[in-house]
Chains A and B, each alone.
Chain A
Amino acid sequence: MKILVAEDDPASLLILRKALQRLGHDCVAARNGTEAWEQYLARVPDVVITDWMMPGMDGPELIARIREAPRYCYVVILTALAEDANALEGMSAGADGYLTKPLNRAELELSLVAAERMTALHRRLAEREAELEAVNARLKKESRRGLCLGVRPIDCAAFVPS
């Protein structure tokens, strides 16, 4: 998977990047939230792993922007130990999972298994949505031509969970 890591500490970033590479993932790094958002738009990652507190745009704001974007992305928040309140706040803000520092490689791997399943599911959903859009467009066209009497265009939005 293509994974974007937003982390302002260079040592933690290198640890995470090496761990992700060893698990066979493609890692894109950003040193703060603003850079992460730019990379998110440019690189379209499957997963974002973001630190909680960063200069400029922080983790919660980055998550909020990602959740406003139309495409689904699995988001994991990174918190230091003894910050359970932050983890809860992060999950409420739209994160799908959280990891604690020091980084536990087994937990990272488990989190990415869940991420793989969720992104696959959302990809299928997006494909289905595109198919429905195409069918709807065709029906509208045929309806306009009067070739499809009695058939009304399908409201795609009704089939797609918000």
Chain B
Amino acid sequence: VLGEWAQPPRPAGTDDAGAAIDPAVLGRLRVGLDDDEVLAEIVALYSTDAASRVAELELALAAGDAEGLVRTAHTLKGSSSNVGATQVTLLAQRLGDEALDGESDEMHLLVDRLRDEVTRAASALRADLAAAV
């Protein structure tokens, strides 16, 4: 208990809130599609696209391109919510809100977290596909 108290507070929006994906969303998608090959294609598309969106976010952040940050964060949020990548959805939402408010240190932190969470979501999605076979 003392150990918990002694830990430094985590910056807002970077708490590891839990599972990378929401199995319920993915389950509904699977039932709706009724085609595991298409689901695998969607997961592959998402994984590739989300990784390149993070790279776009890094570039936009370095260039101080707030509009680019807002737009890319929005796209990442939408695609992530569609496949049930909960953490990426939340972080992308936060980043978009921060970018709208203007430059902040937290944006760097959020992009770093997004990079990790996109990787985590992609592996969780692949694991879910493998388990369903």
Contacts and interface: CB of A to CB of B under 8 A. Distances in A.
Nearest to A8: B75
Contacts of B38: 14, 18
A26 interface: no
Interface stretch (B7-15, B28-36, B101-109): B28-36
A11 B81 contact: no
Nearest to A53: B74
Interface range on chain A (Cβ under 8 Å from partner)? 20 to 34
B75 A15 contact: no
Classify the secondary structure of B's interface with A: helix
Contacts of B55: none
A52 B77 CA distance: 12
Contacts of A105: 32
A19 to B, nearest CB: 7
A102 B84 contact: yes
B25 interface: yes
Given A10-B49, A55-B71, A82-B93, A19 B81 contact: no
Contacts of B82: 9, 11-12, 15, 101-103
Contacts of A9: 49, 75, 78-79, 82
A52 B78 CA distance: 10
A19 B32 contact: yes
Given A10-B45, A11-B83, A14-B42, A80 B78 contact: yes
Contacts of A78: 78
A81 interface: yes
A24 B79 CA distance: 24
B41 interface: yes
Nearest to B33: A18
Interface string A46-74: 00000111010000000000000000000
Interface string A1-23: 00000001111101100110010
A137 to B, nearest CB: 49
B75 A102 contact: no
Contacts of A53: 70-71, 74-75
Contacts of A102: 25, 28-29, 81-84
B78 A101 contact: yes
A55 B70 CA distance: 11
Interface of B: 25, 28-29, 32-35, 38, 41-43, 45-46, 49, 70-71, 74-75, 77-79, 81-84, 93
Chain A to chain B: the 8 pairs with minimum beta-carbon distance, closest first: A11-B46, A9-B79, A11-B45, A53-B74, A10-B45, A101-B78, A102-B81, A80-B78
